[in-house]
Amino acid sequence: MTWLYWLAGSASLGLLVYLAYALLRAEEF
């Protein structure tokens, strides 16, 4: 079940990076 933890961590990390990127893009405008 290790792959499940890896998948969850990867998904949450990707979402966090996406949110940070969206925030940076929003600050430009």
Distance between CA atoms of residues 12 and 17, nearest Å: 9
Q: The tokens of 3 are what? A: 């792959």
Distance between CA atoms of residues 27 and 6, nearest Å: 32
| Domain range list for the chain | 1-29
Residue 27 is predicted with a pLDDT of 82
What's the full length of the chain, in residues?
Answer: 29
Distance between CA atoms of residues 20 and 17, nearest Å: 5
Task: Please list the ranges in the chain whose pLDDT falls under 70.
Answer: 29
Residue 23 is predicted with a pLDDT of 95
Residue 29 is predicted with a pLDDT of 66
